Amino acid sequence: MIENLKLGRKQSNDNLTDKYEIDRENPLGRGIGGWVYKAVHKDSGQYYAVKHLKTEGIANNFRKMDDLRTELKLMIEMDHPHIVKLCEVIEAPDGFHLIQELSTGGELLKRINEVGFTEDAARGHILTMINTLRYLHDKKIVHCDLKPENWLFDEEGENARLRLIDFGFSKHLGGAQNLTIKRGSTLYLAPEVFAGKYDAQADMWSLGVIGFMMLFQKAPFCGMVDEKVNLKATSELIKAGKFEFPPETSVSEDAQGFIKGLLTVDPSVRMTAAESQQHAWLKAAYDASVETNKEALPPKLTGRMKSFSDLTSLQRTVTQVLAYMLESEQIKTLRDEFEKLDETRNGEVSYQEFENAFKRSSIDLDKDDLQQAFNSIGKYDRMRQKFS
């Protein structure tokens, strides 16, 4: 097993099939660690996605074991409305079963290929992805495998939201500040990844590739040899940063400029996540989302926050356990309210943002009561709170 791993999510030694009915006939997809299946919790009837991480046979493979440790630790640490949530970990003789939120809307890649996006629709989804990357990069985490297959829609329909999955290649930058091992899918790799020295800016290049595909329904880099896609030729195009926009396109100059700002060979010049939020093409949408956050919160929500702060420790624990039993639509509503608190769209709520929300809602609390209400939401930090 993974030595000394302190799991922050619910962990058990139960047999998976004692608690969940697994649909192995129709896998949802395949990640770095293996197949992902749909499962239903026998007691509650709630649906989840189940992924199995195997440790059997790789105990002496340092790199693979390190990848498994990293994925588990990062999934435990991640708490963001647009990152798939790890709900439970069940130990198995040959590894771990990860019980995660179920996303039923399919891969972003499927929608790119089958339907495509208007520029306005693409802009909204790209802003979501950038906000998510800012959250990761602020924590010094590099995803290392951003591609349309790793962005899932939470449901079918035009109002579906994206969630990021698969942290099998992800890494903390730590003190080294640079990564050296090439990870990810060639089509989405940044030039500096091939050189063996990269950081979070490599994710921004990958996002530029995804954005290009959403706007033009084709990949920006595709080297052909004998009328077939050739990875070596594609790699050379990527390293040189050679791509062209379709000659006749209705995509705006601002959108094209945004893509150019991400598909810049020099990572020191390439836009960061925070800079991308302020680009002319996204700024109006970003500012509009921030303005939405300045609306007063519903009286019921602020009242419940105040009531929650007055509960005993045991009562809060019971309430948090019940929260894990919420249905997906209820969780979606809570996410909407969380994002109203999150003024900077960095995936966390600061004490100042929390205080601002109460002021906008004309809720009169003295500083001690306000601090108590904020602290009672979770044990993350006296000055910041995560989504759950």
Residues known to be catalytic? 145
CA angle 341, 345, 348 (to 5 degrees): 60
DSSP characters for 106-161? -BHHHHHHHT---HHHHHHHHHHHHHHHHHHHHTTEE-S---GGGEEESSSSTT--
Q: Please state, in angstroms and as integers, the Cα–Cα distance from residue 26 to each residue in 23, 37, 101, 329, following that order.
A: 6, 7, 17, 24
Rounded distance between C-alpha atoms, residue 123 and residue 219, angstroms? 17
Adjacent-strand bridge partners of 97 = 52, 90
Q: Which residues contact 348 (CB under 8 A, 6 or more apart)?
A: 135, 342, 384, 385, 386
Counted residue by residue, the chain has a size of 388
DSSP characters for 331-387? HHHHHHHHHHH-TT-SSSEEHHHHHHHHHHTT----HHHHHHHHHHT-SS-SSEE--
User: Taking the mean position of all CA atoms in its chain, how far away is CA 372?
Assistant: 30
Residue 332's CB is within 10 A of a number of other CB atoms, namely: 15
**Unique residue bearing structure tokens 């007055």:** 310
Written as six digits, the tokens of 298 are 């519903």
Written as six digits, the tokens of 112 are 């790119």
Contact 296, 362 (CB under 8 A): yes
Helix (H), strand (E) at residue 246: none
Rounded distance between C-alpha atoms, residue 313 and residue 334, angstroms? 22
Q: Assign residue 308 a region (left: φ > 0; alpha: ψ between -120 and 50; beta: otherwise).
A: alpha
Dihedral of CA atoms 133, 190, 110, 249 in degrees, nearest 10, equals: 100
Rounded distance between C-alpha atoms, residue 370 and residue 336, angstroms? 22
